[in-house]
Amino acid sequence: MVLFENVSMTYPGGDVPAIDDMSFAIEDGEFVFLVGPSGSGKTSIIKLITGEVTANSGTLNVNGFDLRHIRRRKLPLMRRTVGVIFQDFRLIDDMTVYDNVAFAMHIVGATNRDIRRRVPYVLDLVGLSGREKRYPREVSGGEQQRVAVARAIVNSPQLLIADEPTGNLDPARSLELMLLMDRINGNEMGTTVLVVTHEKELVNSFSKRVIAIEDGRVISDGMDGYYSYEIK
Amino acid sequence: MKSSKIGYLTKEGLKSIVTHGFMSFASVTIIVACLVIMGSFTLIAVNVDAILDDLESENQVVAYVEETFPEEEARALQPQIEYLANVRSCQFVSRQEAWDEWVGQQENQSSFQSLPAEVLRDRYIIYLDDISLMDQTSEQLSGIIGIARVRADTKVAEGFMAVRNVVSAVSLILIVVLVVVSVFIMANTVKLATVSRKDEIAIMKMVGASNWFIRFPFVVEGLVLGLFGGLLAFLLEWAVYDVMTGQILNLLGNLLTVVPFASISLAVLAVYLGVGLVVGVFGSSIAIRNYLQV
């Protein structure tokens, strides 16, 4: 669960708040689109949820962790409950597809036996069977993004965040990826999914909750699954 | 910590030496270069010190025994002389021996044949541990009943002391400057190697890796590269030292004393491996510290 209650955050040295008295809640098992123009605060919300920055005021709770008062050494534990997918994939170039996924399991202290069982299963789930020994540079952009998805879900996180996941993909690959996220949210795993995007057509093709933000504030939050917000 | 985890992280550290081959090569090269330059200066200082030691040890004090003392009594003074703290060794020379030696050195030996050996005194040739205490030891020798006069070349001793002080000061300054420069260069090389891994560290942090999980492979990498650099520097130093000392000995023959590398090889190896290890481990730990604060 993600809970923002009157959260405000200003970056060090900045005078305008990036997040201004923001409140919303995402329940376990939900699929939510977070939309808004560039500079509206989408990335700041992700940074707050992943503990990269700290809120100046309000209540911020992610998967049971109070992120305003969390100790630094507890941050890794919180991050293990959140899977993040980035627009630029952020894979480790020197690791094979298999190792890029496996190292996330090593981090949580999984046994080699569990890793050998789980990684092939997840790679199969995202459609990457047979690509295990390749390096990121040896697979397509769509496949790299699926490696990032595999890495994000391999530890069965409670929350999956995708930051502009389709930004580097063509429409067909984008739709494929969103269907995969839908499966991860559905019966397949039941993971809470938060997709940050500004792709109107993609949002409108799914009937999901849409939170729209502008200037660090929530301007609409609807269950109608429609991207009604107009980008300036 | 589970052993399988340590095994995985160690493997990752070793793997990354190969995958970041160029930076590994650069790090080892810098460590070797700095160690060899520093080590060479230190070894020059060690040799200069040994040469001075050698020359100093030739510096002797002569204590003359009272004329009235018969040889037996003169010989009986030896334990008293040897008892003095700064006396390394002493050798009794009788009047006759002194006379024979002196006459042997003269061109016209027959002119002296008629003179008795009694014109000279019995004496002790005394070698000191520390020539800077020559004055003090001379006074102590003069205080022994039966010693009539002491001849000590304190001017020569002072000259040696001055040379040694200058050599020590210059060596120390050079070594300190080289250590500072080397540490700076090595720290920057490690830092440079880490900058290229900034994104990798950020990804690991995002996935929930703890600081030690990220640091461990870096430390393994630093440790291996540091030890390897230390060992390589040792072998190179050995080769350079052998070639250089060979040339010097060919040129100057037995005029100079050269410390054989074998006699200091263990100490050099220990220092090189130690410096390599410290630079490798602490360098990599400190260099990635900034990137762990995410």
pLDDT of B190 reads: 66
Task: Using a pLDDT cut of 70, give the percent of chain B over it.
Answer: 95
Question: B50-82 pLDDT, tens per residue?
Answer: 887 777 777 788 999 998 888 899 999 999 999
pLDDT of A50 reads: 94
pLDDT of A226 reads: 66
pLDDT of A230 reads: 57
pLDDT at A30 over 90: yes
* Cβ-Cβ contacts under 8 Å, A98 against chain B: none
Which residue has tokens 């039941």? A190
Which residue has tokens 């496996």? A102
Rounded Cα distance between B182 and B201, Å, is 27
Nearest to B225 by CA among B271, B282, B184: B282
Residue A154 CB burial class (10 angstroms; 0-12, 13-18, ≥19): buried
CB atoms within 10 A of CB B176: 10
Every domain of chain B and the residues it spans: 3-55+159-292, 60-152
Rounded to 5°, angle at Cα B290 from B287 and B294: 140
Nearest to B47 by CA among B239, B247, B241, B266: B241
> At A58, is the secondary structure helix, strand, or coil?
strand
Confidence of residue B284 (pLDDT cuts 50, 70, 90): confident
> At A23, is the secondary structure helix, strand, or coil?
strand
Say if residues A165 and A122 touch (Cβ distance below 8 Å): no
Q: In what order do the strands lie in the sheet with A31-35?
A: A82-85, A159-163, A192-197, A31-35, A209-214, A217-222
pLDDT at B128 over 80: yes
| C-alpha distances in Å from residue A173, one per residue of A92, A139, A145, A177, A199 | 22, 14, 10, 6, 14
How many CB pairs (< 8 A) connect A and B?
A: 52
> At B285, is the secondary structure helix, strand, or coil?
helix
Find the residue in A nearest to B198 (Cα).
A92
| C-alpha distances in Å from residue A113, one per residue of A119, A122, A124, A128, B276 | 10, 15, 18, 20, 37
Rounded Cα distance between A129 and B86, Å, is 83
Nearest to B218 by CA among B171, B285, B158: B285
Instruction: Verify whether the Cβ–Cβ distance A108 to B16 is below 8 Å.
Output: no
CB atoms within 10 A of CB B67: 13
From its phi and psi, is residue A215 left (phi > 0), alpha (psi between -120 and 50) or beta?
A: left
Which residue has tokens 């890793």? A115
pLDDT at B194 over 90: no
Question: A112-161 pLDDT, tens per residue?
Answer: 899 999 999 999 988 999 999 999 999 998 899 999 999 999 999 999 99
Instruction: Verify whether the Cβ–Cβ distance A107 to B213 is below 8 Å.
Output: yes
Instruction: Verify whether the Cβ–Cβ distance B205 to A79 is below 8 Å.
Output: yes
pLDDT, average across residues B129-145 = 88
Confidence of residue A232 (pLDDT cuts 50, 70, 90): very low
Say if residues B124 and B65 touch (Cβ distance below 8 Å): yes
Is the ipTM higher than 0.90? The answer is no
Helix A97-107 / helix A112-125 crossing angle, nearest 10 deg: 130
Which residue has tokens 């005078």? A15
Confidence of residue A196 (pLDDT cuts 50, 70, 90): very high
Which residues of A touch chain B, with CB atoms under 8 Å apart?
50, 52, 73, 76-80, 82, 84, 90-92, 94, 103-104, 106-109, 111-112, 151, 155
pLDDT at B163 over 70: yes
Report the mean per-residue pLDDT for chain B.
84
The one-letter amino acid at B221? E
Confidence of residue A214 (pLDDT cuts 50, 70, 90): very high
Instruction: Verify whether the Cβ–Cβ distance A107 to B207 is below 8 Å.
Output: yes
Question: A42-52 pLDDT, tens per residue?
Answer: 999 999 999 99
Confidence of residue B165 (pLDDT cuts 50, 70, 90): confident
pLDDT of A225 reads: 66
Confidence of residue B200 (pLDDT cuts 50, 70, 90): confident
Task: Using a pLDDT cut of 90, give the percent of chain A over it.
Answer: 65
Q: Which helix (H) or strand (E) holds B134?
A: helix B134-142
Query: What is B60-152's CATH number?
Result: 3.30.70.3040
Question: B239-282 pLDDT, tens per residue?
Answer: 999 998 888 888 877 667 788 899 999 999 999 999 889 888 88
Residue B18 CB burial class (10 angstroms; 0-12, 13-18, ≥19): exposed
Rounded Cα distance between B73 and B75, Å, is 5
Neighbouring residues of A214: CB distance < 8 A, sequence distance ≥ 6: A36, A37, A40, A229
| C-alpha distances in Å from residue B131, one per residue of A129, B88, B128 | 82, 11, 6
Confidence of residue B46 (pLDDT cuts 50, 70, 90): confident
Chain A interface disruption, residue of B203, B204, B205, B210, most A CBs within 10 A: B203
pLDDT of B2 reads: 67
* Cβ-Cβ contacts under 8 Å, B294 against chain A: 52
Report the mean per-residue pLDDT for chain A.
90
> What size, in residues, is chain B?
294
Q: SS3 for B138-155, per residue?
A: HHHHHCCCCEEEEEECHH
The two three-digit tokens of residue B94, written as one number: 């009788």
